[in-house]
Every structure is written in structure tokens, then in C-alpha cells.
Structure 1
């Protein structure tokens, strides 16, 4: 069964609003660090020079948010209270949501702005597929071409409220996107809000999660590699971070043969 990587890297060399700090301890530094830790915590004396080449293991320390790279948003990310009760954190979500049949919707023609219900319905009609309960629906906006640059955070399209509710009404509980956010860019949302005064244009896809329990997978990549718009499984298990509103995932597609 071919496995296709659908994940963006966590790359400290790329541009991020919240920069990634990636500190690397070399194997030689790791040997000295280990000796110091053994002495401090366990009272053991060990000379790193006794190791082959004076090296042990490298160690990477990263400072980043749980929304860096490809990640899964939990209901608790959307607000502290939900119409359905207290929103769950990422470590509380059912794992069977995150290994399901997938369907990708090509909405690259939208450009920058809003993907409404009519556009979602058209994308499904174009491929002749109706999502089943717990299918994972993924939006191909084309945003991943800008990963690592400021444009990744401003040049994409996101769902409006009715489009989000439409997918949730079908029983979908995980919606993915190759963009930074499942909502439209904040530049677009704020402009429309300032022009109209309509608060419903502000983060409607995220705020739908206050009414309906669901998860988002943001910052997917490599959607062009999928041979067909459906007929594959998506695995996107989130890292089990206790009490967190999101968790990183190495999302992949497993293609049926």
C-alpha cells in the first residue's frame, strides 16, 4: 500500500510569525551533557572519553507552538465553552477519528478569500463523491506552495460558517487544509468585517467548533501527490500533549491499490 506524506516540516529556517528555535546538541556535546546529568541526578561519575570517539547521542531542543507545522486542532482550541459541554483537549479525542477514508476537494480556483457551501457542493459533485460519517475531508487550496514565506499566512482560502456546518451535518468530524488556517486569512476576514460590521465573518470555521465538536488538520502538504480525489485512507494521529488545544501530526495518505 503506497504511503504518501501529507505533512509540512517543522523548519526553523522558514518564516513564521512565532519563530521556531531549534538548538542542536552534537553527539560530543551530548556525551558531556549525559555525564553531567548522571553526576547531578544519580551521583555517578562517567568519563565521556571512554565512549567511541568521545561521542554519545545528539539532542534537539525546540521552542515552538503546538500549531507549528502540520497539526490537529482540538475543540478546546476554539473556546473554553461549547454548546455540547466542555470542549475536549487533544489528548482526550477519540483516535478512531484520525484514521479514516479521505477525500480531497480541489478549490484552488478560489484564490484568496472564502470557500462557501456552494463551492464545497460543486467540488463534491465534480468528483462524484458524497462524504460518509467520519470521512476526513481535505481542502486543496494551493497554499502549500508558499510554505516558509510570509505569503503562506495571507494567500489562501478558508471555509465560511455555512460550508463548515454543511460538512459537519454530513457526519464529518475532521476537516483538513493545506493552508495555515481552515478560516480565510485574517487580512481578508478583518477587511470584510471592517467594511460590513458583520461579526459572523470572523473565524467562522473555528467558532463552529463551539457549537459542534470537531477537529481541524491544518498545514497539510503534498496534496498533488494523491492519485485520485478519494480511494485512500488518511492517518493523522495527534501527539498526545496533556491539556493542549492542538498536537503535531505526521499526516499520511495510504492509497488503496
Structure 2
């Protein structure tokens, strides 16, 4: 069995709409921090220079959105209700959704910015695959090429509501993309709304999750490393953030190579 990392990093040096702040406490700073804390909180007296090398442990402090890097969106991210009930948060989602057989559809040649149900059906026929209930669906849009730049957030291909519903009708409950969003870029969505006046064109992929529960994996990477469009599985357990609308994940594909 071979493991393929499908995750993009949390990288404070890359461009983000909500900048990531990442500070590193050095081992020497860790010694001072730990000894000060022991003295203040527990009345234990230990000087930093008494530690081997005058060092303790490093630490990383981060300020970031739960939608930074590869992450899983929960139904609660899409609205307050799903399936007629209170939408579940990321810590409430069943673990078995996130360790499943998977397939990937290459939609880089899609005309325009949106994949619909008909396009998904054609893409499945092209790889000769019929999704099974609870399969994880992945979409390779080519957006990962621009990760770390502002273009990553404006130049990608999304799904419309019909595509999401089509997959949910097949029993899919987790849909992933290498793009910033499962929906089309913000500019394309607003342009379509201004042209039609139809609020139904506003973030239809996300809002489909108000009708039926499903989760998205956004900001995947390295989908081109998958050796085949199906015949592999994906593990993408989200970090358990209580009450969170999303949780970061280290998404990994498991591939069994022929002997």
C-alpha cells in the first residue's frame, strides 16, 4: 500500500484573504516561558539555565481561519438547518464519512467556470465508474497550480447545485476539490446574479447542503499524483473543533499498487 499526500500546507508566507500569523517560540524562549509559568501557576522554582543547554521546547502560535489549508466543511458552514434539522458542526460528523473509497474527476477542460450534473455524468462515463454510496468524490480543477498566490482565489472551476445533488443522489456525502471553494469564483457568481437577478445562483454548491447533509474538502493538492481515477481510498478526518463549521485535515490517499 502506498500513501499519497493530498493536502496543501498552512503557509504564512502565501497570499490569503485572511492572512495567517505564525510565530515560533524558540527553545530558549520556551525555557523562559515554561519556568515563568511554573513559578506563577504552581509555585515551582526552576531557572532556565538549569535546563540542559538552557533550552526547553519550541512552540508555534498561529492565528488563522479554519478554512485555511486543506479543510473539511461541516453542514453548519452552509446555514443553520440541514435536512430539516439543526445543521451539525464538524465535531458532530460521523468518522466513517472520512475514510472511504474515492474517485477523482478531471474537469480542467470545462468550458466556463461551473461543472453541472450533465458534466459530472459524462466525466463518470469517461472513467467507466459508477460511484457507490458513501464514496468520496474529488475534483481536479487545476487550481492547485496557483496555490499561495492571489490568483488561487479567483481562477478556478466550481460545481453548481445540480452537480452536488447528482452526487448526493448517488449516495456521495463528501465532495473534495483542489480549489479554494467548491462553488465557482466569487466574481463569476456575482456576475451571474447581477445578470439574472436569481438568488438561486448564489453559492449553489454550498447551499445544497441546506437541503441534505454533506461535507466538502476544499484546498486539496497533488491530485495529479493519483495513479488512476478510481481504485483508491481517502482518509480525511477533520480536526475536532467543538462547534466549528470546519476543521483542518491531512487528507491522504491509500493506493494498492499491483505486484
TM over 0.5: yes
Gaps of 5+ in 1: none
What secondary structure does 2:244 align onto? Answer: coil
* Separation in structure 2 between the aligned mates of residue 252 and residue 49 of structure 1, nearest angstrom: 42
* Separation in structure 2 between the aligned mates of residue 82 and residue 7 of structure 1, nearest angstrom: 28
What secondary structure does 1:108 align onto? Answer: coil
What secondary structure does 1:216 align onto? Answer: strand
Deviations 1:13-60 (A, max 9, x none): 000000000011000100100001111111111111111211111000
Conserved 8 A contact 1:183-1:203: yes
TM superposition shift of 1:190: 0.3
TM-score, with structure 2 as normaliser = 0.98
Gaps of 5+ in 2: none
TM superposition shift of 1:112: 5.2
Q: Which residue of 1 aligns with 2:218?
A: 218
**Aligned pair count?**
257
How do 1:43-122 and structure 2 match up within 5 A? 43-110=43-110, 113-122=113-122
* Separation in structure 2 between the aligned mates of residue 219 and residue 243 of structure 1, nearest angstrom: 21
TM-score, with structure 1 as normaliser = 0.98
What secondary structure does 2:231 align onto? Answer: strand
Deviations 1:155-213 (A, max 9, x none): 00111011110000000000000000000001100011111112111100100000000
* Separation in structure 2 between the aligned mates of residue 245 and residue 251 of structure 1, nearest angstrom: 18
* Separation in structure 2 between the aligned mates of residue 84 and residue 213 of structure 1, nearest angstrom: 10
In the alignment, structure 1 residue 253 sits paired with structure 2 residue 245: no
Q: Which runs of 4+ in 1 moved over 2 A?
A: none
